[in-house]
């Protein structure tokens, strides 16, 4: 298994050149994929016999300033290989399809990203805050977040 194989398979199946393999930045290469194609691509990656990405390691989110990114780390136990997928979302309306139907692990990971970054996962069965109190205002890991000076009568200064 290598990146070229995955890349060629993806291009073959999803005949656009929007799903590029990006190797320019430091760190692991990643696939920058189209928001609409996230679900079909993940399903393909999971169910194809030659890829078998059956494990969702992690979902994180990044505030890039002018946009959000939702980042997915998949792993294939069979071929012992991991890849990273990235989806870019608009700042004003960060909505992306939920992976809960494919991977059970996505449930809490997506709740965490919703809690701290405010990304809405469409189709999630139970999208609530997971770490912060349920009545918390705002999404603390966003760059423009301002910490409250008071919470439920407790002074925060």
Partner 1 sequence: MDSNKAKNLEQILESSIKDPKDLTRYLYYRKKLKEEGLSDFISILPLGAAINWARANSVWPLTFGIACCAIEMMAVGASKFDLDRFGSGVFRATPRQTDLMIVAGTVTYKLAPRIKKLYEQMPSPKYVIAMGACASSGGPYTQLGYQVIKGVDKIIPVDVYIPGCPPRPEALIDAVLLLQDKISKTIPQQEAI
Task: Return d(Cα 124, Cα 44) in angstroms, integer.
Answer: 20
Q: What residues form DSSP beta bridges with 157?
A: none
Quickly list H helices, 33-78.
38-47
Which C-beta is closer to partner 1: that of 14 or that of 145? 145
Q: Which of 53, 73, 67 is nearest to 117 (CA)?
A: 67
Reported as type and span, the H/E element at residue 5 is helix 3-13
Q: What residues form DSSP beta bridges with 150?
A: 155
Under the rule (CB under 8 A), what is the footprint of partner 1?
131-133, 136, 140, 145, 147-148, 151-152, 154-157
Which C-beta is closer to partner 1: that of 15 or that of 157? 157
Strands 67-76 and 120-122: unpaired
CB of 154 to partner 1, least distance (A): 6
CB of 128 to partner 1, least distance (A): 14
Which C-beta is closer to partner 1: that of 93 or that of 156? 156
Which C-beta is closer to partner 1: that of 82 or that of 140? 140
CB of 137 to partner 1, least distance (A): 11
Q: Which of 51, 42, 52, 54 is nearest to 97 (CA)?
A: 42
CB of 140 to partner 1, least distance (A): 5
């Amino acid at each position: 298994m290598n990146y070229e194989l995955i890349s060629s398979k993806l291009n073959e199946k999803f005949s656009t050149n929007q799903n590029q393999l990006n190797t320019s930045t430091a760190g692991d290469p990643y696939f920058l994929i189209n928001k609409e194609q996230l679900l079909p691509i993940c399903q393909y990656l999971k169910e194809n016999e030659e890829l078998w990405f059956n494990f969702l390691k992690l979902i994180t989110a990044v505030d890039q300033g002018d946009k959000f990114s939702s980042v997915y780390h998949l792993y294939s136990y069979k071929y012992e290989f991991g890849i990273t997928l990235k989806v870019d979302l608009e700042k004003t309306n960060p909505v992306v399809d939920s992976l809960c139907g494919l991977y059970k692990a996505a449930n809490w990971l997506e709740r965490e990203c919703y809690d701290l970054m405010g990304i809405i996962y469409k189709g999630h069965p139970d999208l609530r805050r997971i770490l912060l109190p349920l009545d918390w205002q705002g999404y603390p890991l966003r760059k423009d977040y301002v910490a409250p000076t008071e919470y439920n009568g407790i002074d925060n200064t």
